[in-house]
């Protein structure tokens, strides 16, 4: 149990303008405006809750231990009704991160950010993990992945979602209930996690950090097209995400070879050979310093792309809801035309269609991203 004082209780009367911004197995995440604070907050709710959820209360306790610039800030506990719901729910009230998760940013960029931001993200995530591991007792995150790295409006990273977190001393037990609670995201789980006798340690997070580094550098998901059953089998056998493309890029970029070597050490099959979070932080900081002078331009470049993408999405939504009224006579004409058999399309039309499809398919092939320093 935490020795922290009781968290601030935030009722529904203090919040307005509820908007869904995410969801998961636990429930939904909302954005709302706190009337008295004058700022937006994020609220993580459970799907079904009677107001005494042990899992969410436990997460609140865990996250309140993590007071760091690179760990999400918990502002309080929500208990009340979310419009238009008629029953009370329990939730976690956190600071709102304007740019969402790293996973969302990767999707909108269709790849990785510029190199200065890649190295800063590697450093800031390491800082968050190191803070958690340096607590007494150590706090294990156990679900490090792009979806649990949130970004503010300057693209600074903070760790979130401590739903699987464990105090290090509390996992040294073998009960069936404890083992059922252990989990994570399959592609980021260490090989020892697939063993029946698995007991998470700091090295478990370090392995996930190594896979996360790969995702940050490539802008893609590990084992994106592999079946989960195959991933579950091959990770303990030593399979890891491919490094060929990264090593080709490393020849002309300062620090990328060392960053690649760091991720390989982090995802070593033997937990005892993985570096500590402090060692990861120290090396990531040294590598970031090589690119620090260009970070402002890199952030500006990414924010510009994200804003353009938001405008495109907005226009797509407007176009979908804009429907031109059709007169009664036009509707009747369409109805009659639809009932008359027309036979096969003209040969020329088919040929044009086939050409267009081949061109579209050729253009849809994945290509490795090319990036230069901003």
- pLDDT tens for 19-65 read 888 776 566 888 889 988 888 888 888 665 444 456 566 666 666 66
282, 184, 216, 218 alpha-carbon torsion, rounded to 10° = 130
> Span 102-298: which CATH code?
1.10.510.10
Give every CB contact of residue 253 below 8 A, 6+ residues apart in sequence: 115
Task: State how far the Cα of 116 lies from the Cα of 294, in Å rounded to an integer.
Answer: 6
- Residue whose C-alpha is closest to residue 112's, from 16, 27, 216: 216
Q: Is 143 a known active-site residue?
A: yes
In DSSP notation, 17-82 reads EEEEEEEETTEEEEEEEETTTTEEEEEEE-SS--S--HHHHHHHHHHHH--BTTBPPEEEEEEE--
Specify the residue for token string 């960029």.
Answer: 109
| Predicted model pTM | 0.76
Of the candidates 229, 158, 124, 219, the residue with the CA atom closest to the CA atom of residue 187: 229
CA atoms of 142 and 145, how far apart (whole Å):
9
Q: For residue 179, give the DSSP letter.
A: H
Q: Is 3.30.200.20 the CATH number for 9-95?
A: yes
Residue 68 CB contacts under 8 Å (≥ 6 apart), including other chains: 127, 128, 131, 132
Series of mean pLDDT values for 10-residue runs along the chain (374 residues) = 57 86 73 88 70 58 71 84 79 87 93 96 97 88 93 95 62 37 78 93 97 97 92 94 94 93 98 98 98 97 93 83 61 54 41 40 43 43
Please name which of 180, 143, 145, 134 lies closest in space to residue 59, comparing C-alpha atoms.
143
Backbone angles phi, psi at 167, to 5 degrees: -70, 135
CA atoms within 13 A on the CB side of 110: 9
* pLDDT tens readout for residues 228-271: 999 999 999 999 999 999 999 998 899 999 999 999 999 999 99
CA 236 remoteness from chain centre = 24
Domain ranges of the chain: 9-95, 102-298
Q: Please tell me which residue in 12, 50, 107, 143 is annotated as part of the active site.
A: 143
Residue 159 phi/psi, 5-degree rounding, is -80, 145
């Amino acid at each position: 149990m935490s020795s922290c004082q009781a968290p601030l209780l935030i009722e529904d009367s203090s919040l307005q303008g509820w908007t869904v911004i995410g969801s998961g197995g636990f429930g939904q995440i909302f954005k709302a405006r706190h009337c008295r604070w004058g700022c937006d907050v994020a609220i993580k709710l459970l799907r079904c809750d009677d107001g005494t959820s042990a899992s969410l209360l436990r997460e609140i306790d865990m996250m309140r231990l993590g007071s760091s610039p690179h760990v999400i800030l918990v502002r309080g506990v929500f208990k009340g009704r979310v419009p238009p719901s008629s029953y009370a729910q329990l939730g976690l009230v956190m600071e709102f991160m304007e740019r969402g998760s790293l996973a969302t940013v990767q999707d909108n960029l269709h790849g990785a950010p510029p190199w200065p931001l890649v190295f800063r993200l590697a450093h800031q995530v390491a800082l968050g993990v190191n803070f958690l591991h340096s607590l007494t007792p150590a706090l294990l995150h156990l679900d490090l992945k792009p979806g649990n790295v949130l970004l503010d409006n300057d693209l600074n990273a903070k760790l979130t979602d401590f739903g699987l977190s464990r105090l290090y001393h509390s996992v040294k037990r073998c009960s069936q209930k404890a083992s059922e609670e252990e989990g994570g995201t399959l592609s980021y789980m260490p090989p020892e996690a697939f063993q029946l006798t698995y007991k998470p340690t700091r090295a478990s997070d370090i392995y996930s950090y190594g896979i996360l580094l790969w995702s940050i550098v490539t802008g893609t998901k590990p084992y994106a097209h592999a079946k989960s059953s195959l991933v579950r089998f091959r990770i303990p056998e030593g399979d890891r995400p491919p490094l060929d493309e990264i090593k080709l890029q490393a020849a002309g970029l300062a620090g990328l070879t060392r960053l690649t070597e760091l991720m390989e050490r982090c995802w070593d099959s033997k937990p005892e050979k993985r570096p500590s979070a402090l060692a990861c932080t120290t090396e990531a900081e040294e590598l970031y310093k090589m690119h620090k002078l260009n970070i402002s331009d890199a952030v500006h470049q990414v924010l510009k792309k994200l804003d353009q993408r938001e405008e495109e999405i907005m226009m797509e939504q407007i176009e979908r809801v804009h429907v031109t009224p059709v007169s009664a006579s036009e509707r009747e004409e369409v109805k009659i035309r639809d009932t008359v058999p027309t036979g096969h399309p003209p040969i020329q039309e088919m040929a044009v269609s086939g050409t267009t499809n081949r061109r579209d398919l050729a253009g849809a092939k994945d290509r490795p991203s090319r990036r230069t320093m901003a």
